[in-house]
Structure 1
Amino acid sequence: MKALFAAAATGFASSFCYNRELATCSAAKSPFSTTEFRPFTLMNFYDESHNTRVFRFALPEADMPLNLEVSSCITAKYTGKNGEAVIRPYTPINKSDQRGYFEILVKRYDNSKMTTHLFSLKKGDTLEFKGPWVKIPIKANQYRHIGMIAGGTGITPMYQVARNVLRVPKNTTAISLIYANTRKEDVLLGNELNELMETCPLFSPYYVLSQAPSDWMGGVGYVNKEMIKSVMPPPSSAADSIILVCGPPPFMEAISGDKDFKTSPPSQGELKGMLKELGYMQKMVFKF
């Protein structure tokens, strides 16, 4: 299922990740709209883990570029039998200039109407999407060091950022990731993250399992202050570094405090948790 992870962490290298592909998006218009939902056809899907699936939707034309600004999400909508519209945000995991299709990674929850609907879709079915919505614009060389702390499906915006920053030929931005899960089989995008680690010396992932096997080489238990101090850029680097956080609500509360959902859209909310206790400033942390 996954080729797991040659090492739990690697040192930062001074060289950059070389990629022959284009580093910037085409100037062509977006296949999405921010004012209306548009239907997209499901091309294919595959199981990423025992409870997550990657869905590939076709763009209107086979050679149309995705043109997705990093980091962005899109919103999916379907209408239930009772006429109720169900809307949920998802993060495409493609390269920003991917042509012909986009992919989203979705975890199934038994009490979720949207994921139940998504997992019932067959090839050729359609689902409506709207957007994209830029969460925080991030480009190669914008920061000296990007730190990422993710739990579970919170890896999706991190992978979008890492994949698109590290593939720029003259990128010098280092990216370090702490990625927490329960079990080894819960790790998502393991092959893709491993490939980034092997091909991009400036990418350094550190995996943490709360239920680790005896031969596990990464972190064991829950993300703690020592892990953060060891892997993340320090609080003193606020001028040229940033830390991105994404995960389920209890994870967010422990790391940074969750966003403030009293507003629409939600605001960043007060910085709390371990990052505040370690001396990080609000302006250095972004919560997805």
Structure 2
Amino acid sequence: MLHETRCPPMCVNIQLFVSTNSGFIVANVLAYLTKNFLCSASCSIFKGIGIVVLTAVAAKLYFNWLQPKDRSAKQKELITLLDPQTKYPLKLVERHFINHDTRRYRFALPSPQHVLGLPVGQHVYLSARINEQLVIRPYTPVSCDEEKGYFDLVVKVYFKDVNPKFPEGGKLTQYLEKLPIGDTIDVRGPSGLLIHQGIGLFAIKPDKKSPAFNVAFKKLNMIAGGTGITPMLQLIRQILRNPDDTSCMALLFANQTEADILLRDELEEAASKNPDRLRLWYTVDRPSDGWKYSTGFVSAEMIASHMYPPADDTFVVMCGPPPMINFACIPNLDKLGYSPKLRFAY
């Protein structure tokens, strides 16, 4: 027969072992017991107002522990690009004509539940054998990586006999132009030296073999030319999507004519909805009547007037034709005092 005694109010430290499929969770729980609890000689039975419902505590501990796992599980969705060295044949399912030489292509992923699996800042490679020659080109999707079942590319087609400097035109872009709906093309990735890591943070590799280093920023200047707008749109969408991200952006977008401005509706919608976070400015080589933006190559005056000034928390990303980067962007950034360590060219 157990000997029962009345005890004064006290605090008991209870150690819980919660069994899960992955092992045990161990936690200490403080239980405050009133003077009415009943105690045996071995203190193995608790009664009264101060009894802790151990099952509820254990359940709470278990679900608190499980939540990060659930988030991780969500991140581990069905990913298409599992191996950067593997080519995945993906089917062309839609071709949308944006203008006379630009198309939006939609490619189906292996299932409606798959995502592409492309970190923001990275790109994919499309490859095809054309006239017995393997042709490979990089592209940045304009669709969000959260989209399931497909991804979209915006591609400018370089037709034969249009540009005298390139009389044969673009091999892969003309191949895509003629690719029948339902046929596949090989896609490989992710690839690239820059990854957007989250709020105000890039991880950048100097080259493929070097380790990445982190760069923090509060303001992001973007200079794009032609189809170089696609990685910028990828960054803009990612940054504006996060309500906790207060990074501010300024985009200078260069094209030959107003008709050549790709994704203009998407850009202007983003700027109009976020006027304090996204500045948008254009320059074209051949302006139309009533053109209200800049004219000509990217200049120091354009950068100074429409970009954030040099600072330790200001980073510059560039993407466009090599002559634009090498002879317009870099010299003018140098002239204005932007640090070479705080810039990146795709």
Give the TM interval when normalised to the shorter protein.
0.7 to 0.9
Which of 224, 230, 243 lines up with 2:299 in the alignment?
224
What is the aligned-residue RMSD (CA, Å)?
1.7
Pick closer, same or farther for the CA change 1:87–1:100 going to 2, 3 Å. same
Q: CA shift at 1:254, angstroms?
A: 2.2
3-state secondary structure, aligned to 1:48: strand
Letter paired with 2:238:
N
Answering whether residue 323 of structure 2 is matched by residue 250 of structure 1, we say yes
Residue 166 (structure 1) shift: 1.1
Provide the C-alpha distance between the structure 1 equivalents of 2:128 and 2:254, rounded to a whole number of angstroms.
Answer: 31
The alignment's TM-score, normalised by the length of structure 1, stands at: 0.81
Counterpart of 1:9 in structure 2 is none
- For 1:283, give the aligned amino acid: K
TM-score (norm 2): 0.68
Show the 5 A alignment for 1:72-151: 72-82=122-132, 84-109=133-158, 110=160, 111-138=169-196, 139-142=198-201, 143-151=217-225
Out of 145-154 and 102-111, give the one that drifted further: 102-111
Per the alignment, residue 171 of structure 1 pairs with: 245
Gaps of 5+ in 2: 1-70, 161-168, 202-216
2 CA distance for matches of 1:65 and 1:250? 35
- Give the alignment of 1:25-40 within 5 angstroms: 26-32=75-81, 33-40=83-90
Q: 1:179–1:208: 8 Å Cα contact kept in structure 2?
A: yes
Q: How many Å separate the matches in 2 of 1:199 and 1:65?
A: 27
The AA in structure 2 aligned to 1:50 is: H
Given that 2:78 and 2:113 are in contact with CA atoms closer than 8 Å, whether structure 1 keeps it comes out as: no
For 1:136, give the aligned amino acid. Answer: L
- How far off its partner does 1:221 sit? 2.4
Distance in structure 2 (CA, Å) of the matches to 1:221 and 1:112 = 25
Task: Answer whether contact 1:244 1:287 (CA < 8 A) is retained.
Answer: yes
Q: 1: CA distance between counterparts of 2:296 and 2:86?
A: 44
Unmatched segments (≥5 aa) in structure 1: 1-21, 257-271
1:284 aligns with 2:342: yes
Amino acid at match of 1:167: R
Q: CA deviation at 1:61?
A: 1.0
1:226 maps to amino acid: E
SS, match of residue 194 in structure 2: coil
Residue 209 of structure 1 aligns with which residue? 284
Name the CA distance, whole Å, in 1 between partners of 2:87 and 2:170.
21
Are 1:56 and 2:131 matched, yes or no? no
Any idea what the Cα deviations from partners look like across 1:63-122, whole Å, max 9, x if unmatched?
22233211010011111242x211111111111212111111111123221111111112
State the Cα deviation string for residues 138-186 of structure 1 (Å, max 9, x = none): 2333321110011111111111111111111221011110001111110
Larger RCO: Structure 1 or Structure 2 (Cα < 8 Å, ≥ 6 residues apart)?
1
The 10-residue stretch of structure 1 (36-45 or 224-233) with the greater mean CA deviation from structure 2:
224-233
The SS at the match of 1:67 is coil
CA distance in 2, matches of 1:169, 1:39: 36
Paired with 1:135 and 1:104, the residues of 2 have a C-alpha distance of 20
1:43, distance to aligned residue in structure 2 (A)? 1.2
2:262 matched to 1:188? yes
Q: Secondary structure at the match of 2:173?
A: helix
Q: Give the letter aligned to residue 183 of structure 1.
A: T
Q: What displacement does 1:27 show?
A: 2.5
Larger Rg: 2
Q: Distance in 1 between matches of 2:324 and 2:98?
A: 22
Q: Percent identity?
A: 34
More strand by share: 2
| Aligned amino acid, residue 138 of structure 2 | P
Deviation at 1:29, TM superposition (A): 4.7
Residue 7 of structure 1 aligns with which residue?
none
AA aligned opposite 2:313: D
Distance in 1 between the 2:180 and 2:272 partners?
A: 35
Distance 1:157 1:242 in 2: 15
Instruction: Give 1:205 deviation, angstroms.
Output: 0.7
